[in-house]
Amino acid sequence: MFDYTKALQYPVKIARPNAKLAKMIMSQLGGPNGELGASMRYLNQRYAMPLREVAGSLTDIGTEELSHMEMVSALITQLTKGLTAEQLEAQGFADYYVDHTAGIYPVSASGVPFSAATFQSTGDPISDISEDLAAEQKARTTYDNILRLADDPDVRDVIRFLREREIVHYQRFGECLRLLQEHMQKYSPDPRNPYAFNPAFDAPPMHPQPRR
Amino acid sequence: MRQPSQSSEKMARAELLRCIQEHSFAMHDLGLYLDTHPTDARALADFQAHAEAYKTLTEVFADRFGALCRMQVRDVHGWAAWSNTPWPWEKEAN
């Protein structure tokens, strides 16, 4: 169950509207490496996770990504607030404005609507956690690319916070991968090959007894 | 008695909210660490200290500026404050 707290995870207080910047940052809401995809990836993957502590990591990180989605949306909404249609057009926002005015709709920087095809949930723990490690680095790359273009200090401060979180999540998922590999080493039907089974599918129950 | 000016009230609100966000963040980050290091008693003690501070400060905040979660709404005026004060994505809420 999720319960709402009426506060951002980290404050967003933008002094100067800038629709051009909003359009770039939009990718971290609805783009291929964005926060919406991140939260959906982890929150959907956790049902097939045989190790409960790893399911815990997916739940907690997936929940944090929802908070990041809210922060990115706060950035976009404050960066476009109070601008006229002419100003939005002059700042390169006309194509978005035509369909969505200054509302929030998850698209990439190039205008492609969010798609679940940007993430996977394979039902195979090693595949999923490996995907998650890559996803955190891809999000970090995108934030680095945004930082090269964003000169507003209010925006940069928030982007730096979000970028840092990708690095922490990468660290935690690395530990999840290690826990999974130790588990598979222990329970694999083939002692020479820890990958001989999918622990989410081939070896019920969830917490099997070690081989005698 | 002089009433605090609106701007100092606004600053006090922002300052208390920062404190709450710091404890909330520390709690969350320690929680992620504990997911993969569940037997680290020192991390758990830190988590609990931040959780305690978070609880105390959110109650102070609810009394002074309005609830941050619905559970802390005390009366009908409190509900109005919950739904009518700026939402977190508005600049004024930060």
Q: What is the pLDDT of residues A65-87, one digit of tens each?
A: 999 999 999 999 999 999 999 99
The answer to whether the complex's ipTM is over 0.90 is yes
Q: Which two tokens stand for residue A2?
A: 């999720």
Q: What is the pLDDT of residues B17-67, one digit of tens each?
A: 999 999 999 999 999 999 999 999 999 999 999 999 999 999 999 999 999
Contacts of A78 in chain B (CB under 8 A): 89-91
Is the Cβ of A99 closer than 8 Å to some Cβ of chain B?
no
Contacts of A9 in chain B (CB under 8 A): 21, 24-25, 28
Kindly tell me the burial class for residue A65, based on how many C-beta atoms sit within 10 Å of its own C-beta (0-12, 13-18, 19 or more).
buried
Q: Domain extents for chain B?
A: 13-87
Kindly tell me the burial class for residue B33, based on how many C-beta atoms sit within 10 Å of its own C-beta (0-12, 13-18, 19 or more).
buried
Q: What is the pLDDT of residues B73-85, one digit of tens each?
A: 999 999 998 999 9
Listed in sequence order, the DSSP H helices in chain A are 19-25, 27-30, 35-45, 52-80, 85-90, 94-100, 125-149, 153-187
What long-range pairs does A80-85 form, CB within 8 A, spacing at least 24? A80/A17, A80/A19, A80/A22, A81/A17, A81/B91, A82/A17, A83/A17, A83/A19
- Are A150 and A14 a contacting pair, CB within 8 Å? no
**pTM for the complete prediction?**
0.94
CA angle at A143 for the pair B17 and A40, rounded to the nearest 5°: 75
